[in-house]
Structure 1
Amino acid sequence: MRFHTRKWIKPNDLNPNSSLFGGRLLEWIDEEAALYSTIQTENHRMVTKYMSEIEFVSSAKQGDIVEIGIDVVKFGKSSVTLTCEVRNKMTRKTIIKIGKIVMVGLDEHGNPKPHGKTKIEFVKDRLNEDY
């Protein structure tokens, strides 16, 4: 699992139980999945098509730092299937797991757009060595 983004839990992120609001966490995950799949496919029109069962494993509280991990499961013709885990940065305790997130790339008319990708690429591998 590659952990890309960290979030510091602030008062506005809490539910009435004074723990991290699940909806806020899902918002962060959805954004991270969109960013990750956009970078992989080089298409800025990535949308969430599907999110599998969401397993809340533990909670987090104000002041905790959480990190969002995303990995590619597979590349489709116009989609990327991801898996996600969010954990407490300091304790490494899992907070949430999502087995499958499907992101689809669209063209300017809202139709699925093939991306031609078959494996994970890193930005450094795309850059010209002269930089």
Structure 2
Amino acid sequence: MQFYSRKWIMPEDLNPNGSLFGGKLLSWIDAESAIFAMCQLGKDRHLVTKFISEINFVSSGKQGDIIEMGVEVRKIGNTSISLHAVVRNMMTKEVIIDISDIVFVNLGADGKPQAHGYSAESD
């Protein structure tokens, strides 16, 4: 897995307990995964998040930590792409969160799933 993006945990990213707010982290992962999916399938896709599997918070981040987000393709379907995402502390490499499956679906103008047209030959 390659780690493409980094974030510096700032005071506004913390929950009342002083650790990284899970909702903020999930927002970052969703955005990073969507960008990754578009880069895989092509920029002219209209992808939406369809499904996020069980979320495993392994450890927490704290103010001042730098985290890095890694995403890899699990499967490419006719209208969808499934990804695996991991966030870890950049310095210690300790995993903060692991999401085994994030699915994005390509939508047509009518808002219904539409084939994205990606194939291995498209590379």
TM-score by length of 2: 0.93
The answer as to whether partners of 2:45 and 2:116 remain within 8 angstroms in 1 is: no
Measure how far apart 1:72 and its partner are: 0.2
1:70 is aligned with what amino acid?
Answer: V
1:100 is aligned with what amino acid?
Answer: D
Measure how far apart 1:108 and its partner are: 2.1
Alignment of 1:59-70 (within 5 A): 59-70=60-71
Unaligned stretches of 5+ in structure 1?
127-131
Output one character per residue of 1:14-56: Cα deviation in whole Å (capped at 9) or x when no partner.
0001000000000000001111111111134111000000000
Aligned partner of 1:31 in structure 2 is 31
Q: Identity over the aligned pairs, expressed in percent?
A: 52
State how far apart, in whole Å, the 1-side matches of 2:97 and 2:75 are.
21
2:38 is aligned with what amino acid?
Answer: T
2:33 is aligned with what amino acid?
Answer: A
The answer as to whether partners of 2:87 and 2:95 remain within 8 angstroms in 1 is: yes
Count how many residue pairs are aligned between Structure 1 and Structure 2.
121
> Which consecutive segments of 4 or more residues in structure 1 shift more than 6 A?
none
Aligned partner of 1:49 in structure 2 is 50
User: Cα RMSD over matched residues?
Assistant: 1.4
1:94 is aligned with what amino acid?
Answer: V
Unaligned stretches of 5+ in structure 2?
none
TM-score by length of 1: 0.87
Aligned partner of 2:8 in structure 1 is 8
Alignment of 1:1-131 (within 5 A): 1-42=1-42, 43-119=44-120
